[in-house]
Amino acid sequence: WAKAAGGDRYEVYDASRHDAQALRSTLGSGLRVALHQGDFVILYQPIVRLADGAPVGAEALLRWTHPEYGPVAPEIFIELAEELGLIGQLGRWVLTRGCRQAASWYREFGDRAPFVSVNLSARQLHDVGLAEELLATLDEVGLPAGQLQLELTESALLGPAQGPADALEVLAGHGVRVAVDDFGTGYSNLAYLRRLPVRELKIAGAFIEGLTPGLSGTPADRQIVASVVGLAHGLNLTVTAEGVETREQAQLLRSMGCDHAQGWWFARPGDPDLLSRMVAGQDIKSVAPAPAR
């Protein structure tokens, strides 16, 4: 098609593809080096209980700064790690670090310690050794399984593959929490909710953005959020709203019965200290439910 459109176009297309490939291979080798040296950082974003603003959990969010290009978005380097077959190693690093951090909070705060929520890519879920390895890690760092949550997107959870389902069953059987990330943005097939040991739904930030009147606000988003809250509670699952940026959104979510929330209005992803301060009762933001209308 590009050829038919004319020689110029073809060349431009070709050149930009060449650049993109050069960039990928540079980033790829940077990624290998970083992995070798453990050059990644994990930030923790508080997940709070809407009823009182208390931190119940923390999502582990991976950061990588390329020595030359600066910070690289996780979506980009994680996809690259998947393509290069490095995701197993990178994912294990995040899980181990995350579990260690959770164990440290657990020693410090006991029952009030936040659970740590780690994002898992689909590839990791297909790793046959996952469940066994993870249980060994929990044991090694002294973390009760209920203090670890795994976040999986709908597309990672879909499909007939039995291996991943078995792994989740084993982990959930030990008490590890399983959450569906970005709920509502994947496929609309909900059958996996029947089949898999899911404990929590995380409503994608895109829907929260449209919750309150404004440029992008639509009545549909409000209906969607209300429906997801209803669905979650009907299935005995907890529900977390992602990407909460305003007090108004937080208030509305609270009055809609949403359990937990996460977003810039409460706290940006930060150092583990941020969570420790919040557990100690500092920097807590809470909202009263929005008045009925």
**Binding site residues, Mg ion, CB under 5 A:** 119, 151, 181-182, 242
Contact range with ligand C2E by CB under 6 A, out of 30-38, 47-55, 213-221, 240-248: 240-248
Which DSSP category does 292 fall into?
A: P
Residue 43 or 290: the one with the smaller Cβ distance to Mg ion is 43
Element (H, E) at 60: strand 55-66
Question: Least distance in Å: CB of 60 to ligand C2E?
Answer: 6
Give me the least distance between CB of 214 and ligand C2E, in Å please.
14
Asked if 99 touches ligand C2E (CB under 6 A), the answer is no
Nearer to Mg ion, 151 or 200 (CB): 151
Burial class for 217, CB neighbours closer than 10 Å (0-12, 13-18, 19+): middle
* Choice between 50 and 60, CB closer to ligand C2E: 60
Q: Is 182 in the site for ligand C2E (CB under 6 A)?
A: yes
- Binds ligand C2E (CB under 6 A): choice among 58, 86, 106, 119: 119
Rounded to 10 degrees, the C-alpha dihedral 40/198/255/53 comes to: -40
* Exposure of 149 in the CB half-sphere (CA atoms within 13 A): 23
Return d(Cα 192, Cα 258) in angstroms, integer.
Answer: 22
DSSP H or E stretch at residue 124: helix 122-125
* Binding residues for ligand C2E (CB under 6 A): 45, 60-62, 73-75, 78, 94, 119-121, 151, 181-182, 205, 242-245, 263-264, 269
